[in-house]
Amino acid sequence: MATVAGLTGLSRIAGFVRDILTAGILGAGPVADAFFVALKLPNFFRRVTAEGAFSVSFVPLYSAALETEGREEADRFASRAFSVMLVCLSLFTIAAIAAMPFVIHVIAPGFAGDETRFSLAVTLSRITFPYLLMMSLAALLGGVLNAHERFAPFAAAPIFFNLCLIAALLLSDYARTAGHALAWGVFAAGIVQFSLLFFSIRRTGIRLRLLRPRFDPKIKRLLALMGPGVIGAGVMHINLFADLIIASFLETGSISYLYYADRLNQLPLGTIGIAVGTALLPMLSKVMAAQDTARARDLFNRALEMCLLLGLPAATGLLLTALPIIVTLFEHGSFTKQDSLMTMTVLTAYAAGLPAYVAVKVFSTAYWARQDTATPVKIAVVATLANIVGSLYLAFVLDLGGVGIAASTAAVGWVQIALLGFFLREREETRLDRRLTVNAFKIVLACVFMAAYLMVAKTFFVSAYIPERSVFSFQVGGLVLLVGGGALIYGMALVLMGVVRREDIMRLLRRVRGR
């Protein structure tokens, strides 16, 4: 978890540099709306099918094969899966590029009356869509490496995605628009990330070969698990995609507000959630295959404890410091004060559901490790339908616009975690232990102390973020004091209450040095 979280954190930092440049160069106008649709399209399929349904189906099967059949048989299964994925996704990519005008009509129907946004979205999506193929293959290679407990290469891959887009922005003067430059940056990023994972596999000595695609029993089992997993693993991304469709009917800029707010919300969600899910899935799959219930229960509880330890203060911080963060990071160039205020309200709504979506990673992994993708999909259907209905009601009936969409997405996260927990209540390996329940109360109390500090401290820095023209260095300094001070108060409270112990930190440092 520390390895994945650390590299994911570096990726998010690079992502913020990218977003700052994007906000300044691209702003929140029609070109930005078109590009964000073009970016979300391949990313949606990648997260739901490749890194979602495929990973949560493939990794348990591959890990179980390693545990019970040996490395040679496991690598043969991975090679066969690679070949099948290469053929199927190549055909799908070609078909999607050819049918892109129809696809844009489906995913952004509000663009139909706006020729500028519609034509740009079609053009840019045709450039970005091959990213799906490259990253899907990279996800398979990453799953193999993770099963061998080599987490760094796949966790580092998103850093190169952000670096490619930063380079594209810096060279945007040579492109037709900044949106075109970013689209080609996405295309290049897919090639770079796949190459990184491919050479990592070679250096590790794992033998993957390009075999003739054949639907043997293991591949059929993989596809059977992927069927429900397409929705079960990607419910949050499906919700976000539903948000995109609904937002296309709102005023120009609404898609951009949702994008920028989601990027901030994804920092803790991605860093914590991805780290927990990536590390927990192969480990939990192996101990469940070995029928070690005690070890499985300990892994589940400690992962959930870590999610609360990091996710709850992150949500508290975003709720209370949304405006300072957005103004400091994004309010430059084409990004206006009005854009900051609109993005702030959306981020506040998203943050309310952050702890739930982080915890969903742990609860979902408990199902996937048992090769149960059917139960999460049933829950996902309920959650997705609830999100669509809630978004439509809040955005149009109550006239809350993008804020209503974000609020509905947040509420659905709590519905999903409640249902996932309910259907796991009889499982011994997912029963909550006393250490978790005691520490959860202490974590909430520490967040209360942190919130009190933030509410008092931010009153001293209001003047740095509200005026149209304020000093950037004052904004940065105020944000450092808010975030740093809040983190210090929270950390001190955890240490004083015994949630975090010195020996735990030293043990972690020794393990990191050992790697």
- In the block, tokens 């913020």 appear at 16
User: Are the C-beta atoms of 60 and 53 separated by less than 8 Å?
Assistant: no
Domain residue spans of the chain: 2-430, 438-515
Under the banding of pLDDT at 50, 70 and 90, the label for residue 492 is very high
Highest mean pLDDT among 224-233, 241-250, 362-371, 423-432: 423-432
**pLDDT tops 90 at residue 273:** no
**pLDDT tops 60 at residue 65:** yes
**pLDDT tops 90 at residue 358:** no
Q: Across residues 57-62, what is the average pLDDT?
A: 78
User: Are the C-beta atoms of 280 and 17 separated by less than 8 Å?
Assistant: no
**pLDDT tops 90 at residue 166:** yes
- Structure confidence at residue 190 (pLDDT): 92
Better-scored residue on pLDDT, 11 or 484: 484
State the average pLDDT for the chain.
83
Q: Across residues 475-494, what is the average pLDDT?
A: 90
Q: Across residues 84-92, what is the average pLDDT?
A: 90
Kind and range of the H or E run holding 385: helix 374-392
Q: Across residues 213-219, what is the average pLDDT?
A: 81
Better-scored residue on pLDDT, 442 or 228: 442
- Which residue intervals of 233-292 are DSSP H helices? 235-247, 254-268, 275-289
For the CA atoms of 264, 267, 273, 275, the dihedral, rounded to the nearest 10 degrees, stands at: 170
* Contacts (Cβ under 8 Å, ≥6 apart) of 398: 404
- Structure confidence at residue 236 (pLDDT): 56
Longest dimension (CA), the chain: 66
Concatenate the DSSP letters of all residues of 111-154 into one string.
Answer: GGG-HHHHHHHHHHHHHHTTHHHHHHHHHHHHHHHHHTT--HHH
Of 80, 74, 19, residue with least CA distance to 343:
19
**pLDDT tops 70 at residue 154:** yes
Task: Spell out a b/e string for 242-258, using b for 16 or more CB atoms within 10 Å of the CB, else e.
Answer: bbbbbbbebeebbbbbb
**Which pairs from 459-467 meet CB under 8 Å and 24+ separation?**
461/324, 464/324, 464/327, 465/323, 465/324, 465/327, 465/328
Kind and range of the H or E run holding 54: none
- Burial of residue 151 (CB within 10 Å: 0-12, 13-18, 19+) is buried
Write the pLDDT tens digit of every residue in 107-118.
Answer: 788 787 777 888
Of 63, 71, 446, 115, residue with least CA distance to 284:
63
Q: Across residues 178-204, what is the average pLDDT?
A: 91
% pLDDT > 70, the chain: 88
Measured between alpha carbons, how far is 283 from 225 in angstroms, rounded to an integer? Answer: 19
**pLDDT tops 80 at residue 422:** yes
* Contacts (Cβ under 8 Å, ≥6 apart) of 457: 481, 482, 485, 486
Better-scored residue on pLDDT, 90 or 269: 90
For the CA atoms of 280, 282, 287, 290, the dihedral, rounded to the nearest 10 degrees, stands at: 170
